[in-house]
Amino acid sequence: MANPPGFEFVAGHVALEFVNTVDWRLDEARRHELITRSDDLVSWARLAGVVDAGEARDLSAAAERDRAGAERSVRRARRVREVLFRILQAAGRDDRPAPHDQRLFNAFLASALRKRRIEARGASWKWSWARGPRETFDSILWPIVLAAADSLTSPARAQIGECAGEGCGWLFLDTSRTGRRRWCTMRGCGNRAKVRRF
């Protein structure tokens, strides 16, 4: 696997972390895509805890066998990510999402829910996913979409914040004591804002 891009995990929620795989989302001149290949998607999923080491190896092997399919999945993952951004951004602003985005999100969610299973493991039970041979890479998206749905239907929705850095566009879950977090990170956008003020 090639060296992954410099993913940062500062949002505090897996769906928001996935949304943040674009640097400078709101600034066309500086916008930088962090998921350009299937290796990037697998690396991000492994680092985010969406897949374990064995699943990551299986995904990388599947990508080697079907490069075209893997790249189609990357394009689909980015489409899902952009819908998640708009839906979660609207939720954080207490706005209604666009009807088109709501329909797309529900289609992604329905696909994920069809794959949800519960399995007996010894004397206990565990949630799992039913993966078909053609759904290898799409399976990365299922837990992300499900986590987004859970946050949208919970009090956590009110904690979704957007970085105040000009052009940043990163989202985060504001779990600060005061509920007044403004920046994706203080060392990034927060420091740039301080420098501009002085």
Sole residue written with tokens 């007996």? 120
In 10 A of CB 44, how many CB atoms? 22
**Where residue 22 falls among pLDDT bands split at 50, 70, 90?**
very high
Give the pLDDT band (50/70/90) at residue 87.
very high
Question: What are the Cα distances from residue 69, in Å, to 38, 52, 78, 120?
Answer: 10, 21, 14, 32
pLDDT grade for 186, boundaries at 50, 70 and 90: confident
C-alpha separations of 133 from 27, 58, 62, 137 in Å = 38, 12, 10, 10
pTM of the model: 0.90
Q: pLDDT tens for residues 90-122? A: 999 999 999 999 999 999 999 999 999 999 988
Q: What is the mean pLDDT of the chain?
A: 90
**pLDDT of amino acid 4:** 54
CA distances, 70 to each of 41, 52, 73, 140 (Å): 10, 18, 5, 12
3-state secondary structure of 117: strand
* Burial zone of 47 (CB within 10 Å; 0-12 exposed, 13-18 middle, 19+ buried): middle
* Residue 99 to residues 15, 134, 172, 177, Cα–Cα distance (Å): 20, 29, 23, 34
The predicted-structure confidence for 148-183, as pLDDT tens digits, reads as follows 999 999 999 999 999 999 999 999 999 999 999 999
Pairs from 185-192 (Cβ < 8 Å, separation ≥ 24):
185/8, 185/10, 189/163, 189/164, 189/165, 190/165, 192/165
Which tokens in the block code for residue 164?
């105040």
Rounded to whole angstroms, the Cα distance separating 41 from 5 reads 10
For residue 166, what are the β-bridge partners?
none
Share of the chain residues as helix, strand and coil, in percent rounded to the nearest 5: 55, 10, 35
Q: Is the pLDDT of residue 50 over 90?
A: yes
